[in-house]
Chain A
Amino acid sequence: MAVYLFYFLIFPGLLFMAVAGALLSWYDRKITARVQFRKGPPLLQPFYDFFKLLLVKETILPKHGSRSVFLIAPLLGVFGAAMAGLFILLPLFDIETGFRGDIIVIFYLLTLPSFSYIIGSLASGNPLAAVGASREMKLIISYELTFLLVVAAVIMKSGQQFDMNSIIETQQTGRPFIGSISGVLLFVAGVFCIQAKLALVPFDMSEAETELASGIYIEYSGPPYAMIKLAKYIMFFILPAFLVAILMNGMNPGVNIIWFILKILGVVLLLTLIRNTNPRLKIKQASGFFLIWMNLLVVVAIVLIAFGL
């Protein structure tokens, strides 16, 4: 029992994922700054932001709306992100093997942070938050099908294996899935799904800094906002890790850990460059992009898998 608590809270759970995600979020901001020829924030900036929100700032509760739901929602988000991260990282780091079907559980848990933001923002009773929440819902409906198809294609490619451990082992004994045409197509679709899940710029219409004034988070201040930041940091680490695990060979022990870190940094670099070179889409364009083009891409990939390519 104690060892599971250690897994959940410290390594590879909450603490480790939060630190890794915060460093990745600094990396993202630094790359953004370098792209715009700026100097960028110092290394510990995400930690300053988090501790400032957690320890210094006051919490303001909305006058209209449900206060308890408003306060519980960010905790639900952190829980969902940490739990999904645990199921991803335990097989990835070769600590525990997981169970049959855990990739489906991961798929559901990864949706929990987005749902909790929707619940929390609707509980705040702010009209801009409601607009943001409705956009987030439409975005979830758009990208979830594509993400599910990506996961299904990976399961099909690994020979009907439903657990992370076997999928990673299949790639390590054979070759990584990304080394084939269908794998590249799945990687493209997966990167765009992650972009939408993290609400990075082409798909950030739910926060929309300039038009909705950070939309779904508009009413959050102080410690609840720190919890949202924490969930975002964790998601920023585990989603690229998930992609690396299901398509890019996972992690081999020993010196290959550096190779694993480079793969994660490469995926995050790709996400950051996409976010810096694209304008925000309208929700209709984003839905069309996922429901038509990305689904088509994954279906083509599935057909190619059926032919063994």
Chain B
Amino acid sequence: MGFKDYCFRKSLWVFHFGGASCNNCDIEILDCLTPRHDLERFGILLVGSIRHADVLLVNGSINRRDRDRLLELYRQAPKPILVVAIGACGCTGGIFAEGNTFAGPVDKIIPVDAYIPGCPPKPEAIISGIVKLAGKK
């Protein structure tokens, strides 16, 4: 792992995109930043602007309206950017997979680097996924 890559892996800034989510995954993601789990010890920060993001965190089922927003966000993000699909809806579509407005799981729209399944995934599972992502390559 080179110096550039090392710095990138040690300082992942996360932008959170919630699709048509039932909010459980959102709550579990916010749990990761609380004192008990504290993702900042891995250098992970939640940022407010996609321009500063290194990780695009997508949860919730992506419906037809969300798809355009998600694509727009992905195009505006400075590369390299990692995409993480969180929860059953983000990974596969979950119970909405055959819904009328469903526009496909995240990996049909943009390339995904890590899947964290669960409905909702526990904060421990999210941390495990993020650490594996940071150690990838």
User: Which residues from B are CB-within-8-Å of A220?
Assistant: 51-52
User: Which residues from A are CB-within-8-Å of B5?
Assistant: 56
Return B43 CB to nearest CB of chain A, in Å. Answer: 5
Kindly identify, within residues 96 to 114 of chain B, every residue whose CB is under 8 Å from any CB belonging to chain A. Answer: none
Complex CA distance for A234 and B79, rounded to whole angstroms: 27
Chain A residues touching B, majority SS: loop
Kindly identify, within residues 50 to 81 of chain A, every residue whose CB is under 8 Å from any CB belonging to chain B. Answer: 51-52, 55-60
Structural contact, A39 and B41, CB atoms closer than 8 A: yes
Kindly identify, within residues 30 to 58 of chain B, every residue whose CB is under 8 Å from any CB belonging to chain A. Answer: 35, 38, 40-41, 43, 47-49, 51-52, 54
Q: Please pick, from B38, B76, B80, the residue contacting A60 in the complex, using a CB distance under 8 A.
A: B76
Given contacts A33-B40, A52-B4, A225-B52, 19 further A-B contacts (CB under 8 A): A38-B40, A39-B40, A40-B40, A40-B41, A41-B41, A42-B10, A42-B41, A42-B43, A45-B10, A51-B7, A52-B8, A56-B5, A56-B7, A57-B54, A60-B51, A60-B76, A209-B48, A221-B51, A221-B52
Structural contact, A38 and B43, CB atoms closer than 8 A: no
Q: Please pick, from A38, A47, A217, the residue contacting B38 in the complex, using a CB distance under 8 A.
A: A38
Structural contact, B38 and A39, CB atoms closer than 8 A: yes
Structural contact, B38 and A48, CB atoms closer than 8 A: no
Structural contact, A57 and B78, CB atoms closer than 8 A: yes
User: Which residues from A are CB-within-8-Å of B43?
Assistant: 41-42, 45, 48-49
Structural contact, A49 and B76, CB atoms closer than 8 A: no
Smallest Cβ-Cβ distance to A29: which chain B residue: B40
Q: Please pick, from A36, A47, A55, A219, the residue contacting B51 in the complex, using a CB distance under 8 A.
A: A219
Given contacts A214-B47, A214-B49, A218-B51, contact A55 B7 (CB under 8 A): yes
Return A124 CB to nearest CB of chain B, in Å. Answer: 10
Q: Judge if B11 is at the interface, Cβ distance under 8 Å.
A: yes
Return A66 CB to nearest CB of chain B, in Å. Answer: 17
Structural contact, B41 and A38, CB atoms closer than 8 A: yes
Complex CA distance for A42 and B9, rounded to whole angstroms: 13
Which A residues form the contact surface with B (CB < 8 A)? 29, 33, 36-42, 44-45, 47-49, 51-52, 55-60, 209-210, 212-214, 217-222, 225
Which B residues form the contact surface with A (CB < 8 A)? 3-8, 10-11, 35, 38, 40-41, 43, 47-49, 51-52, 54, 76, 78-80
Structural contact, B35 and A41, CB atoms closer than 8 A: no
Return B114 CB to nearest CB of chain A, in Å. Answer: 18
Return B14 CB to nearest CB of chain A, in Å. Answer: 13
User: Which residues from A are CB-within-8-Å of B11?
Assistant: 45, 48-49, 52
Complex CA distance for A209 and B16, rounded to whole angstroms: 14
User: Which residues from B are CB-within-8-Å of A40?
Assistant: 38, 40-41
Of the candidates B3, B4, B10, B47, the one having the most CB atoms from chain A within 10 angstroms of its own CB is B10
Structural contact, A210 and B51, CB atoms closer than 8 A: no
User: Which residues from A are CB-within-8-Å of B47?
Assistant: 214
Q: Please pick, from A44, A47, A55, A214, the residue contacting B52 in the complex, using a CB distance under 8 A.
A: A214
User: Which residues from B are CB-within-8-Å of A36?
Assistant: 35
Q: Please pick, from A41, A45, A55, A213, the residue contacting B48 in the complex, using a CB distance under 8 A.
A: A213
Q: Please pick, from B41, B49, B79, the residue contacting A58 in the complex, using a CB distance under 8 A.
A: B79
Structural contact, A59 and B40, CB atoms closer than 8 A: no
Complex CA distance for A10 and B43, rounded to whole angstroms: 28
Return A216 CB to nearest CB of chain B, in Å. Answer: 11
Return A129 CB to nearest CB of chain B, in Å. Answer: 10
Structural contact, B48 and A51, CB atoms closer than 8 A: no
User: Which residues from B are CB-within-8-Å of A47?
Assistant: 7
